[in-house]
Structure 1
Amino acid sequence: MRLDESVTEPISIDIWSDIACPWCYIGKRNLEKGLDAVAGDDDAPQVNITFHSFELSPDTPVDFHGDEVDFLAGHKGMPRAQVEQMLSHVTGVAAEAGLEYRFDLLQHTNTVKAHELLHHAKANDLQHEMEERLMSAYFTEGKHVGRIDDLVDLAVEVGLDADETRQALESSVHLSAVRQDQAQARAYGIQGVPFFVIDGQYGISGAQPPAAFENVLRDLWSKRGESERESAAV
């Protein structure tokens, strides 16, 4: 997540995700592992990461009465046994990524205010910290991430001002930015998340393993270096 200090422009990584998407947190962690792996290269790829809003279940109430099994079984029409098996599988995959999912504590909620908060954090150069805090709060700590009071508390933890954050959330000043992200997702044809757009031209769908990100980043960075050397020789 370092900004390039040389002439070479950083590789842009735009990530569409929902903080209530279990695969998005796994994908985020796998990307970070991929970045760590290439950081030791002699000519390490430099990147600039931006998170974008995607709501998986925009019709979800802020206060959903029931647990994650209830939500998926009732709201999505899935058999409870199938839901429990699916959550067990996701929990195992998350553990491999170093994440301890607690679906028994998770409080399902509407995420639009969380997305507004991420845009507020972005305006204050704290988007990455806020993304991590929201996902951790939701999946591993069982915290509520749909109510303004709870979101303000989490925002303060990453360094945002409480009063400014509350004003931003109560006024919905960043809602238009959330909608713009969603419109761009539709324009790209994104139907599921996480979805990674690399340099505006390569799309990676799903929680791919760290090696997938390593390969793409090294390939792009190598080609960029070759292009610049050719331009310099002209």
Structure 2
Amino acid sequence: MKVEIWSEVTCPWCGLGGHRWDRAVERFEHGGDVEVVHRSFPLGSGLPEDRTLSVREFLLAKYGVVPGQADVPDIEGMAAAEGLAPYRVLDNRVGNTDLAHELLAHASAEGKNREAWRMMFRAYFGEAESVFTLDDLLGLAGRIGLDRERTRRVLAERRYRRQVRQDAHQAQRLGATGAPFTVIDGRYALAGAQDTDTLLRILRQVWDETHPTVLDAGDDAAICGPDGCAVSADHAART
């Protein structure tokens, strides 16, 4: 089973949603047969690349929302209740994340997809670290064993810019209007950061739909294989 998750680096629901998927897969009876792949869905491409602003400033400017109002979900509290603490949201900063997504694409090409996304969310939400400049990202790359100079060249040349855009376009073609957005086995789409129990229930449902139960008819059942047809020794002895 393949689970593809499109996320934005600075989206608090994406970080929390990724954690919930990890917990659901860990609890799933067939978790070892589940491949989780993270993909990019940048939402901050319109932000300037040379500066950042606080989350509070961003929310007020874009939505007219003042943090602390009753209609603003307590994402930090939810994360803490699910084992993600600290999980810094309101005191963080936002900016253009295109280059961060390109680092994640490079890491994925090096076989470090889940490791890189976990590291990125942990650095941004767990430590409130900047993930916006080339120097920021080179430091993060070293944490997962990526060669610093090679990574510098890759990011400076913007080798993965096109792939990041293709990831986002693919999500939109599949119906995504925001992040996180998840597709299971290329057939089932799920919007938003659902709770862990819901995700586990969905995994079990999809598994049951795509993996029919094989009934054991007992030792007397005859069977044909690539090398021909055979019956059990007991059955042959009685005939």
TM-score w.r.t. structure 1 length?
0.84
Of 75, 87, 100 in structure 2, the residue corresponding to residue 101 of structure 1 is: 87
Q: State how far apart, in whole Å, the 2-side matches of 1:44 and 1:138 are.
A: 27
Rounded Cα–Cα distance in structure 1 between residues aligned with 2:15 and 2:184 = 18
Q: Tell me if structure 2 keeps the 8 A contact 1:64–1:108.
A: no
Look up the match of 1:84.
68
In structure 2, the CA distance between the partners of 1:146 and 1:98, relative to structure 1 (3 Å rule), is same
Shift of 1:88: 6.2
Which of 45, 54, 58 pairs up with 1:67? 54
Deviates further, 89-98 or 25-34 = 89-98
**Which amino acid is the alignment partner of residue 111 of structure 2?**
D
Contact 1:19 1:134 in 2 (8 A): yes
Which protein shows a greater Rg?
2
Code of the residue aligned with 2:54 in structure 1: it is D
Runs of 4+ in 1 over 4 A off after TM superposition: none
Q: State the one-letter code of the partner of 1:153.
A: G
CA-atom RMSD, angstroms?
A: 2.2
Can you list the C-alpha shifts for 1:62-96, whole angstroms capped at 9, x where unaligned? 3445421011112x04132xx33366611112212
Post-superposition Cα deviations, 1:28-84, rounded to whole Å, max 9, x if no partner, equal 11111111111xx3x55611121111112211123445421011112x04132xx33
**Equivalent pairs: percent with the same residue?**
34
Contact 1:63-1:108 at 8 Å conserved across structures: no
Q: What TM-score, normalized to structure 2?
A: 0.83
Which residue, 96, 101, 122 being the options, matches 2:108? Answer: 122
SS at match of 2:94: coil
The partner residue of 2:24 within 23, 34, 37 is 34
Deviations 1:147-196 (A, max 9, x none): 01110110110111101111110000001100111111121120011111
C-alpha separation in 1, matches of 2:112 and 2:52: 32
How far, CA to CA, are the matches of 1:179 and 1:25 in structure 2? Answer: 20
**Aligned residue among 6, 11, 27 for 1:21:** 11
Does 1 or 2 have the higher relative contact order (CA < 8 Å, sep 6+)? Answer: 1
Q: Is this contact kept in 1: 2:5–2:37, CA < 8 A?
A: yes
Pair 1:200–1:211, CA change in 2 (3 A): same
For the structure 1 residues 104 and 221, does the alpha-carbon distance in structure 2 shift closer, same or farther, using more than 3 Å as the test? Answer: closer
Q: Take 1:17 and 1:205, find their aligned partners in 2: how far apart are those partners?
A: 11
Letter in 2 for 1:72: L
Paired residue total: 216
Asked if structure 1 preserves the Cα contact closer than 8 Å seen for 2:130 and 2:136, the reply is: yes
Q: Write the letter of the residue equivalent to 1:67.
A: S
Gaps of at least 5 residues in structure 1 are 1-10
Q: Distance in 2 between matches of 1:118 and 1:32?
A: 18
Map of 2:40 onto structure 1 = 53
Alpha carbons of structure 1 residues 57 and 37: separation in structure 2 relative to 1, 3 Å: same
Given that 1:120 and 1:174 are in contact with CA atoms closer than 8 Å, whether structure 2 keeps it comes out as yes
Structure 2 unaligned runs (5+)?
216-222, 225-239
Q: Deviations over 1:115-150 (max 9, x none)?
A: 101110011011111111111111121211010111
Q: Which residue of 2 aligns with 1:7?
A: none
Q: Which structure dedicates a bigger proportion of its chain to helix?
A: 1
Match for residue 96 of structure 2 among 85, 97, 110: 110
